[in-house]
Homo-oligomer: A and B are copies of this chain.
Amino acid sequence: MNPISGKRLPFHGYRSILWLLFLAFAGLTHARSTDPLPSWNSGSAKSAIIQFVQNVTEKGGPDFVPPSERIATFDNDGTLWCEQPMYVQLAFALARANALAPEHPEWKNIEPFKSALTGDMKGVLATGERGLVELIMATHAGITVDEFNQNSDYWLTLSKHPRFNRPYKKLVYQPMLELLDYLRKNGFKNYIVSGGGVEFMRPWTEKIYGVPPEQVIGSSIKTKFEWVDGKPVLMRLPEIDFIDDKDGKPVAIQKFIGRRPIAAFGNSDGDLQMLQWTTVDNYPHFALLVHHTDAEREYAYDRDSAIGHLDKALDEAQQKGWTVVDMKKDWKQIFPAANP
């Protein structure tokens, strides 16, 4: 009705529809102009990501990739969350060694436990791979998968990072959270492909990263199907099943996903083979390394670091034109804002 004349206007219905269309279109325009990566400073890294996503999602474009093939793989330690001054899982292993020590009086005198119990990280690392494996076996096996998940998730919720004094799960990189979300909204299936233990990550990756357990690949120890008190359980055995690092990453990607990723994200030489595997042929692809250059807001390390060692992959990135994120320059913000 025309409120003034009281007469019915002939095109009232059409006008409403036009208005709705206009509003819908305005909404779309607004969504399009919103920055999908607000914590990324303008620069070549941000542009390269956005350009790649636009290319592979442009229907009819020369680089279009169907959604089912849009597989992206992310390393975790140092790529999605802070790995200094030591891998979070190593901090968990040390804490758990301390908790279990009363049942193992002999640990006081034998490495790597002796160093672990006094918090001497250098001493632990000095025992080499053999020592680390022993430490992991002693602290991660002998319980069921469900018990382990509860233990580790409980510890992760309560423990805080020694420098930032925040729970570890809050020390994930805000720009990478935005990147995960941006890819997901563009039809990508994001996988974590980490050297860390798969069961250590799965209880929380869905909530923090939006990555469900079935899209988490990691190192593993063997498990055994057993009956305990009339119920079937999976018991964790003190035996390495698979190390998901270096050459192991493409092997695991094929084993678990069975498709070649079109985008891969890492930060160390442990990710080099995953990036090589992703960028091998003429299919559109994208490779990115997070370079830790920000000692003030996080840490600065690369070629000389034992943790997150980045040397060969940095050279190869330069040769092959992979995207290298300069954390200090490219990221407006490192971690999510603290809770109010």
Interface residues of A (CB under 8 A from B): 8, 10, 12-13, 68, 71, 145, 189, 198-199, 202, 206, 212-214, 216, 220, 223-225, 231-232, 234, 241, 247-248, 250-251, 254-259, 273, 276-277, 280-281
Known pairs A71-B214, A202-B258, A256-B256; list 9 more (Cβ under 8 Å): A145-B254, A199-B258, A213-B259, A214-B256, A214-B257, A223-B251, A225-B273, A232-B273, A232-B280
Top 4 A-B pairs, shortest CB-CB distance = A213-B258, A13-B13, A225-B247, A214-B257
Minimal beta-carbon separation of A56 from chain B (angstroms)? 18
Complex: chain B residue closest to A248, CB-CB: B225
Q: Are A255 and B214 in contact (CB under 8 A)?
A: no
Complex: chain B residue closest to A205, CB-CB: B258
Q: Are B212 and A68 in contact (CB under 8 A)?
A: yes
Q: Are A10 and B13 in contact (CB under 8 A)?
A: no
A68, A234, A276 interface centre (most CB from chain B within 10 Å) = A234
The number of times this chain is found in the oligomer is 2
Complex: chain B residue closest to A213, CB-CB: B258
Complex: chain B residue closest to A16, CB-CB: B13
Q: Are A214 and B258 in contact (CB under 8 A)?
A: yes
Q: How far is the CA of A255 from the CA of B197 in the complex (A)?
A: 11
Q: How far is the CA of A254 from the CA of B223 in the complex (A)?
A: 9
Minimal beta-carbon separation of A248 from chain B (angstroms)? 8
Q: How far is the CA of A247 from the CA of B71 in the complex (A)?
A: 31
- When distances are taken between beta carbons in the complex, the residues of chain B under 8 Å from A250 are 225, 232, 234
- When distances are taken between beta carbons in the complex, the residues of chain B under 8 Å from A212 are 68
Complex: chain B residue closest to A216, CB-CB: B258
- When distances are taken between beta carbons in the complex, the residues of chain B under 8 Å from A256 are 214, 256
Q: How far is the CA of A98 from the CA of B71 in the complex (A)?
A: 38
If A13-B13, A273-B232 touch, whether A223 touches B255 (CB-CB below 8 Å) is yes
Q: How far is the CA of A198 from the CA of B252 in the complex (A)?
A: 13
Q: How far is the CA of A103 from the CA of B277 in the complex (A)?
A: 32
- When distances are taken between beta carbons in the complex, the residues of chain B under 8 Å from A257 are 213-214
Could you write out 12 A-B pairs with CB less than 8 Å apart? A8-B8, A68-B212, A71-B214, A198-B258, A214-B259, A224-B247, A225-B247, A225-B251, A231-B281, A232-B280, A234-B250, A241-B255
- When distances are taken between beta carbons in the complex, the residues of chain B under 8 Å from A13 are 12-13
- When distances are taken between beta carbons in the complex, the residues of chain B under 8 Å from A71 are 214
